[in-house]
Amino acid sequence: MTAAVWRKQRALRAASGNSLGRDAWRRLAANKAAMGSLAVLGAITLAVIIGPWLSPYDYFSQDYDAIWQAPSLANGHWFGTDQVGRDLLARTLAGGRISLMVGIVTTLVSLVIGVSYGAVAGFVGGKTDALMMRAVDILYSLPFMFFVILLVVFFGRNLFLLFAAIGAVSWLDMARIVRGQTLAIKSQPYIEAARMAGAGTTRIIARHVVPNLAGIVVVYVTLTIPQVILFESFLSYLGLGVQPPATSWGALINDGTGEMSIAPWLVLIPSVFLAVTLFCFNFIGDGLRDALDPKDR
Amino acid sequence: MLAFTLKRLAGVVPTLFILLTATFLLVHLAPGSPLDGDRPMPAEIRANLEAKYHLNEPLIQQYGRYLLNIAQLDFGASYQYKDTSVNDLIATGFPVSLAVGGFSLLFALVIGIPLGIIAAVRQNKIADYLAMGGSLAGISVPNFVLGPLMILAFAVYNDWLPAGGLGGWQNYVMPVLALGTMYLAYVTRLMRASTIEVLRSPFIRTARAKGLSEMRVFVVHVLPAALLPVVSFLGPGAAAVLTGSVVVEQIFGIPGLGRFFVTAALNRDYTLVLGITLFYGIIIILFNLVVDVLYGWLDPRVAYR
Amino acid sequence: MLLDVNNLTVDFTTHSGTVAAVQGVSFAVDTGEAVGIVGESGSGKSQSVLALMGLLPDNARVSGSARLAAGNEQGPIELIGAPARRLRSVRGARVAMIFQDPMTALNPHLRIGTQMTELLRRHLKTSRREATERAVAMLEAVRIPQAGQRLKAYPHQLSGGMRQRVMIAMALSCEPALLIADEPTTALDVTVQDEILETIAELRQQTRTALLLITHDLGVVAGQCARTVVMQHGGVVEQGTTEQIFTRPAAAYTRDLLAAIPRL
Ligand SMILES: Nc1ncnc2c1ncn2[C@@H]1O[C@H](COP(=O)(O)OP(=O)(O)OP(=O)(O)O)[C@@H](O)[C@H]1O
Ligand SMILES: [Mg+2]
């Protein structure tokens, strides 16, 4: 997971300094792999949102008359059932809801933290900046996965803590990049002009610095969401993430691993959903990088 | 170079200090006492235990004691395994985790570096597309998906490899593949990107303009520069492999430190969780230090900045 | 005749079609002679000389002819389309090249000494010690102080002007018959530009090395080159003795270039 952070840094660096103009969008639209991934991701998201309403089964009701049903269209359990007769389709969709929600909410939280922190550090500059960035460096070198598990152990397992813990460690890249951008933008003449006209620091950040970051933010979001999804699945797989009856893809894979030799679909189906989702995000992230930085092709 | 090394060494001190302080504060901010079990405890026994673990002392004194113990690399006793110290558990578990993690990283480097070079040299040809598509897939399949799938394929449906435990080299094959594949994918992509970048740089044109053989241009001029990003990946890469081994040990039932960690986390064995976090924290910080110095040694510009 | 270039053409295949960078360029350089190539940015100066050296990227297609005198009893060597092996024995030995930006042209990861001696050992087949001695002598010849110690330095430890001196010392160390200098002073401070040009001129006198000097600056050509080639849009607009070009320019484009020189 730390490696994902690292890959993200490189992509962000490629994206920084390149604006998300019309050319970039056109290049992205011409990228079939990225567009296909976007479509698949849209379909998964839609299924996860409206699917549970359409499904005749819910994700927690047990049915001992229908345990270990293999996937089939005939019996109504398209993805089969588990060892207590719960419908796997309903569980996969419910799990996807949690996985995607954790991914999106946490990414937004970390985005807000990262942008504000980085913009403030870059804009204030001097000693404050040095100190703030030193703090980021230190946080970087801590073994954050172990830290999150430590948090979970000492403060108990709950979804909110999960958001907070993951969000608290994902903002670091954003802070760094935004600071760099802010420093670059700060020396532009129009900022000087705004300052001369008497605009306050906050106002300058909000009006001039933030809008210039659109390209990076898009890349950041595309690459952070899968990272957070992976992170949550990891914790849930270990039994330290979402707690029953709630479920997520990682938790489903964990449940399925135990029944693997009897009912392989229990591990295969959520695995495919998770892998395909991550694959799509990665493809879009790559496509965006190439669109913003075409010389890299 | 020496000055650079010393400076980096000094830079580690605040990081370690923050790691220690943060963990200490976390533990003491946590609701409830580590002694709160399932059953209420008679006051007398509780007082005894508190005295034993120094929980009755003022916070600052506890903090001092904590720092002192860690300075002596003493992580205390496990709450769960009553008579075993955390140090003993680390001593049994870490070599196992180190073997699994080390082999995985080695696997990723030994295959990923040549593969990335081939993809770069044959840019936009079939070999490149295969390597890039494959590595994107590799990045998208987490180890806790790959692991069970491999067990299914190689141990359940076919009886080719043992599903778990530790014995001969066969026991390492699946864990190393499960853990190493994602890093293999990273290293491949990284090596490709950096090789392409270096091949384009003016100093390579100078080397060619000197009439050097392609072999010499590649080995002396391209390779060292192209390897630098992979070297700086080693720091986060090693941290990631240690983290990943937590899951892989769980999947394959390997008695390593990662497995102890998860068991301790699930059983709320405070001292063991804390001890392993600290231990891994220190290991990762020190490893990053080594990588930093190595990088400075490989790239002369860094050390003089 | 040292170098005879005839109808040289360079095309690049790109995503957005073919770029005709050089379109039928012909010129010649005599033994020991200095020839200038001037022209606006993008006129094809660099791509022409890179084509001679066989240093263009894979997406380039080169045609035409460039014959280089072999320097022995054998007849001239055709450089265009020559096998890689033959090109490698020419590069650095018969024809050397220095580039615009000395910071990026030297390998930042290797010591100056390594970069200089690898060239000497490749072409002169000397021992390590002899190569080192020759490298020191060359650094002294380009007036780098404490030459012996500089061999251990990395490029970033030298100033821009010194780096370009190192490039010159390296390029001339195998006593090539032709030195190609592609805007050797553009990236440097104005104050060191003249020194660099002087250094090149001085060493050339000793070794009778011919010079192909690429520049934007007609003023530089006037001081250094006996003959001048003027290029625009990938073609040669006119060529002749430098005096002729300055006093009786035939093409309107040349007159524009002349008008752009600041008068002292
Ligand atoms: N790899 C390439 N692919 C496509 N076109 C190229 C490539 N390299 C150069 N060109 C084009 O070839 C033309 C000639 O370039 P060249 O580098 O020879 O110009 P130049 O005269 O040296 O200019 P300058 O004075 O700026 O160095 C330019 O229009 C350039 O865009
Ligand atoms: Mg040029």
Containing A161, the helix (H) or strand (E) segment is helix A159-186
For residues A172 and A9, what is the distance between their CA atoms, to the nearest angstrom? 10
For residues A182 and A116, what is the distance between their CA atoms, to the nearest angstrom? 11
User: What percent of chain C has pLDDT above 90?
Assistant: 45
Å between A145 CA and nearest CA of chain B:
7
**Count of domains observed in chain C:** 1
Q: How far is the CA of C61 from the centre of ligand 2 (A)?
A: 18
Under DSSP, the state recorded for C263 is: P
- Report whether pLDDT(A172) > 50: yes
CATH of the domain at C194: 3.40.50.300
In a domain, C225, yes or no: yes
User: What percent of chain B has pLDDT above 70?
Assistant: 91
Residue C25 β-bridge partners: C8
Distances (CA, A) of A45 to A52, A98, A158: 12, 11, 24
In a domain, B79, yes or no: no
Q: How, if at all, do strands C34-39 and C17-29 pair? A: unpaired
Lowest mean pLDDT across A174-188, B132-146, C95-109, C120-134 = A174-188
Q: Whose CA is nearest to atom 24 of ligand 1?
A: C41
Region A10-17: mean pLDDT is: 60
pLDDT recorded at residue C262: 67
In a domain, B54, yes or no: no
- Report whether pLDDT(A211) > 90: no
pLDDT recorded at residue C263: 59
pLDDT recorded at residue A296: 43
For residues A206 and A212, what is the distance between their CA atoms, to the nearest angstrom? 10
In a domain, C169, yes or no: no
Q: Which domain holds residue C65?
A: 3-100+177-259
In a domain, B118, yes or no: yes
What is chain B's length? Answer: 305
Query: What part of B 144-173 touches A (C-beta under 8 Å)?
Result: 144-145, 148-149, 151-152, 156
**Contacts of residue B276 in chain A, CB cutoff 8 Å?**
146
Cβ-Cβ contacts under 8 Å for A163 (sequence gap 6 or more): A102, A105, A106, A109
In a domain, C78, yes or no: yes
Residue of B122, B203, B215 to mutate, interface with C, max C Cβ within 10 Å: B203
- Report whether pLDDT(C250) > 90: no
In a domain, B154, yes or no: yes
Confidence tier at A2 by pLDDT (50, 70, 90): very low
Residue C63 β-bridge partners: C9
- Report whether pLDDT(C184) > 70: yes
| Ligand closest to CA C44 | 1
In a domain, B2, yes or no: no
ipTM of the complex: 0.90
In a domain, B160, yes or no: yes
**Contacts of residue A233 in chain B, CB cutoff 8 Å?**
142, 144
The answer, yes or no, to whether any atom of ligand 1 lies below 6 A from the CB of C47, is: yes
- Report whether pLDDT(C119) > 90: yes
B180 and B107 in contact (C-beta within 8 Å)?
A: yes
For residues A94 and C150, what is the distance between their CA atoms, to the nearest angstrom? 68
pLDDT per position as a tens digit, B112-164: 999 999 999 888 788 888 888 888 888 888 888 888 888 888 888 887 877 77
| Ligand closest to CA C23 | 1
For residues A168 and B26, what is the distance between their CA atoms, to the nearest angstrom? 15
Burial class (CB in 10 A: 0-12, 13-18, 19+), A256: buried
Q: Which domain holds residue B261?
A: 86-267
Q: Does C121 touch chain B (CB under 8 A)?
A: no
How distant is the alpha carbon of residue C141 from its chain centre? 19
- Report whether pLDDT(C224) > 90: no
Buried b or exposed e, range B8-24, using 16+ CB within 10 angstroms: beeebeebbebbbebbb
- Report whether pLDDT(B37) > 70: no
Region B253-258: mean pLDDT is: 88
Task: Determine, for residues B220 and C110 on separate chains, whether the beta-carbon distance falls below 8 Å.
Answer: yes
Instruction: Tell me which of C200 and B77 has the higher pLDDT.
Output: C200
For residues C5 and C22, what is the distance between their CA atoms, to the nearest angstrom? 12
pLDDT per position as a tens digit, A223-282: 888 888 888 888 888 888 787 888 888 888 888 888 877 878 888 888 889 999 998 998
Residue of C19, C41, C61, C182 to test ligand 1 pocket, by largest number of atoms within 8 Å of CB: C19
The CA radius of gyration of chain B, in Å to the nearest whole number, is: 24
In a domain, C220, yes or no: yes
Nearest to C105 among B203, B212, B213 (CB): B203
A183 and A165 in contact (C-beta within 8 Å)?
A: no
Confidence tier at A297 by pLDDT (50, 70, 90): very low
**Count of domains observed in chain B:** 1
In a domain, C140, yes or no: no
The answer, yes or no, to whether any atom of ligand 1 lies below 6 A from the CB of C224, is: no
Closest CA to A25 of A292, A296, A295: A292
C36 and C213 in contact (C-beta within 8 Å)?
A: yes
Task: Determine, for residues B148 and A152 on separate chains, whether the beta-carbon distance falls below 8 Å.
Answer: no
Closest CA to C53 of B208, B201, B220: B208
Q: Whose CA is nearest to atom 19 of ligand 1?
A: C42
- Report whether pLDDT(B53) > 70: no
Q: Tokens representing C162?
A: 């010194």
| Ligand closest to CA C51 | 1
pLDDT recorded at residue C181: 92
CATH of the domain at B242: 1.10.3720.10
What is chain A's length? Answer: 297
Task: Determine, for residues B189 and A283 on separate chains, whether the beta-carbon distance falls below 8 Å.
Answer: no
Region C36-58: mean pLDDT is: 91
The per-residue pLDDT of chain B, averaged, comes to 83
Closest CA to A6 of B185, C108, B143, B12: B185
pLDDT per position as a tens digit, B164-184: 777 777 788 889 999 999 899
What is the identity of the amino acid at B76?
Answer: G
C246 and C38 in contact (C-beta within 8 Å)?
A: no
In a domain, C120, yes or no: no
For residues A224 and A257, what is the distance between their CA atoms, to the nearest angstrom? 27
Give the position, in ligand 1's atom list, of the atom nearest the Cα of C44: 18
In a domain, C129, yes or no: no
Task: Give the relative orientation of helices A159-186 and A2-15 as an angle to the nearest 10 degrees.
Answer: 30
Q: Tokens representing C201?
A: 């001129």
Task: Determine, for residues B300 and C109 on separate chains, whether the beta-carbon distance falls below 8 Å.
Answer: yes
In a domain, C199, yes or no: yes
- Give the per-residue SS3 of B77-120: ECCCCCCCEHHHHHHHHHHHHHHHHHHHHHHHHHHHHHHHHHHH
For residues C19 and C40, what is the distance between their CA atoms, to the nearest angstrom? 17
Closest CA to C23 of C236, C216, C254: C236
Q: Whose CA is nearest to atom 2 of ligand 1?
A: C12
Task: Determine, for residues B211 and C110 on separate chains, whether the beta-carbon distance falls below 8 Å.
Answer: no
Region C193-218: mean pLDDT is: 87
Containing C239, the helix (H) or strand (E) segment is strand C235-241
Closest CA to C66 of B106, C57, C56: C56
Instruction: Tell me which of A272 and A141 has the higher pLDDT.
Output: A272
- Report whether pLDDT(C113) > 90: yes
The answer, yes or no, to whether any atom of ligand 1 lies below 6 A from the CB of C45, is: yes
Residue identified by tokens 């804009």 is A123
For residues A89 and A71, what is the distance between their CA atoms, to the nearest angstrom? 9
Under DSSP, the state recorded for A210 is: G
What is chain C's length? Answer: 264
Task: Determine, for residues B304 and C156 on separate chains, whether the beta-carbon distance falls below 8 Å.
Answer: yes
pLDDT per position as a tens digit, A87-102: 777 788 888 888 898 8
What is the identity of the amino acid at C209?
Answer: T
- Report whether pLDDT(B203) > 90: yes
Question: How is C67-79 classified by DSSP, letter by letter?
Answer: EE--SSSS-PEE-
The answer, yes or no, to whether any atom of ligand 1 lies below 6 A from the CB of C9, is: no
